[in-house]
Structure 1
């Protein structure tokens, strides 16, 4: 129903407009019985609060932005689901922004801040530098996710990518594998994510007394299972001998799995594989894929908490925090 007013909800519920406003703004002192009566009236009438009006009345809109590269990437889709669900529990709605993973897209998102429609932003950058982020508008509270640039003035939440990559590589080595490749990183201009994961991979090899062979790095043209299948397949066809592949992400792992199977190589008997992100598809592939699983709930929850603290006026230097991860062992690289 269009044009429903606050007064209409108050009339149907038999309460004052102030009580309706308190329920809409989620003020805690409203009784459970009164809150239910107002919420029933809101549902019956289809009332939707006016965002700009709410901002004028309270200084806030109840909206936050979540900005990342590409919603078609399973990791970002899962991140969006977790943030949206947890934000709703806290009385916030989420606006999603895609940057296409470009510098121009990231600059546009950060500079606009949804034109004042949002109270804060959770942002996963991949191109902007720390220096540039530090100079962005400061009137919109921001929390950064991931291992990209993060100035000391802005809050950031991430997992320890080096430690996680080291653990995945150690697991492959524990299976007796010695020709461990790394696949799925960018062909040129390595992202910070790829740099850290390769660093962890190399550290584990060196701990085992193995020399990291540059020939075992298999880049892809883009982050996609198709390009991973092509690049891994081309490397195998050129004679590269591997007995394990640590993949930058689950998409690369799925592509690598196909390339191996097309060439008659068995997983994990001939080549073991690990992925990264623990996206839903990894447990339905055949074989299912061993993968690094970031604690997505903790990541989203901590980012939201930090953002709300900034929205409420917290004024300190940036807090950079780590959340846990796990190596989920499945058929592609089972327990030793």
Structure 2
């Protein structure tokens, strides 16, 4: 027999109304009560009646997770954690790819209560995708293009600065970067680029124009192509900071194909802590992000905005951790 709200309330030692508040994502519930209710929901495997909730509230109980590229390595991890975090709040999740159309509703098979946009996306493309959105939107992990939408993620400028500073501490001085967007050529730098530049200037170094390369998508192939260009320069860099682990893994392959040793000739670091980087040869230094916490905070934020649409735009920052591995290890070069 399926569990009911009363069953959850009895196990958690709270009222049925309190359970309803937690399940529906109301923000004004103490952390201790929320933990007890969520534990009871998980133990009893309680699932709200989506049809009944739609009739009662006019809501669907469905969130959309829009991924700029479902083939990117982080997509599976993020989708799994978002589905889990949403389920604990009584939401189902539909996963969609970024569309060329500026209307996020075009082709959608079902209405949704809120939209989560995951991962790094070029600002121009993101603005086009969300321009017509008429529901709560939360960006998960990417940069906020103009402050119109809530964002949950790491301080990407600080993460980039930490990654670059790690290379500097390893004795590297000709540090290149892969992952800039085309918009940065004529406009202000995006946060990752700003953090990279800040670390260099803090060490008394001037950023070299030819050492900052574009990557329209953060794929391995983009990292490979950009690294081939960098490694063919007369005064090639002795380190490469990549804006994602996928770019860094592609860059390390480019170094291998060019006969360049990692880390002996060039150190490489990324962002994201993909499992692949833990088993690459050499293992990849990275900036690690807690995907489970990221998803939990993002779902909490979109649920709060669904309940109170007129609240001011929020920026929720989750911590990051530098993880040094073999690809930046000091060697006798």
User: What's the offset of the Cα at 1:144?
Assistant: 2.3
Alignment of 1:260 with 2:255, yes or no, is: yes
2:300 aligned partner: 305
Quick one: structure 1 residues 134 and 217, their matched pair in 2 at CA, closer, same or farther if it must change by over 3 Å?
Answer: closer
Q: RMSD of aligned C-alpha atoms?
A: 3.4
Equivalent residue number for residue 88 of structure 1: 87
- Residue 323 (structure 1) aligned with residue 318 (structure 2): yes
* 1:1-336 equivalence runs, <5 A: 13=1, 23=4, 26=5, 31=10, 54-99=53-98, 104-105=100-101, 107-109=102-104, 111=105, 114=108, 117-124=111-118, 126-127=122-123, 136-138=132-134, 140-145=135-140, 146-152=142-148, 154-186=149-181, 188-190=182-184, 195-220=190-215, 222-313=217-308, 315-334=310-329
> Against the structure 1 CA distance between its residues 78 and 184, is the aligned structure 2 distance closer, same or farther, given a 3 Å change threshold?
same
Residue 17 of structure 1 corresponds to: none
Structure 2 CA distance for partners of 1:71 and 1:269, relative to 1, 3 Å: same
2:262 aligns to what SS in structure 1?
coil
SS at match of 2:288: strand
Is the contact made by 1:150 and 1:156 (CA closer than 8 Å) also made in structure 2?
no
How far the C-alpha of 1:99 sits from its partner, in A, is: 0.5
CA distance in 2, matches of 1:268, 1:332: 5
Question: 3-state DSSP class of the match of 1:108?
Answer: coil
Greater shift in the superposed pair: 111-120 or 285-294: 111-120
* Equivalent residue, structure 1, for 2:38: none
Q: 2:258, 2:133 → 1: CA distance? A: 52
Listed one character per residue, the Cα deviations across residues 244-276 of structure 1 (whole Å, up to 9, x for unaligned) are: 111121111111111112222221122111011
SS at match of 2:161: helix
Q: Relative contact order (C-alpha < 8 Å, sep 6+): which is higher?
A: 2
* 2:139–2:152 contact (8 Å) kept in structure 1: yes
- Paired with 2:78 and 2:188, the residues of 1 have a C-alpha distance of 16
In 2, are the aligned partners of 1:178 and 1:243 still within 8 Å (CA)? yes
Q: Which stretch of structure 1 is more off in the superposition, 194-203 or 248-257?
A: 194-203
Query: Which of these two proteins has the greater Rg computed from alpha carbons?
Result: 1
Q: Which of 212-221 and 319-328 deviates more?
A: 212-221
Give deviations 1:175-208, integer Å, cap 9, x for gaps: 111111112334x334999722111111111111
5+ residue gaps, structure 1, are: 1-12, 14-19, 33-41
Quick one: distance in 2 between partners of 1:209 and 1:58? 59
State the distance in 2 between where 1:133 and 1:256 align: 30
C-alpha separation in 2, matches of 1:27 and 1:319: 34
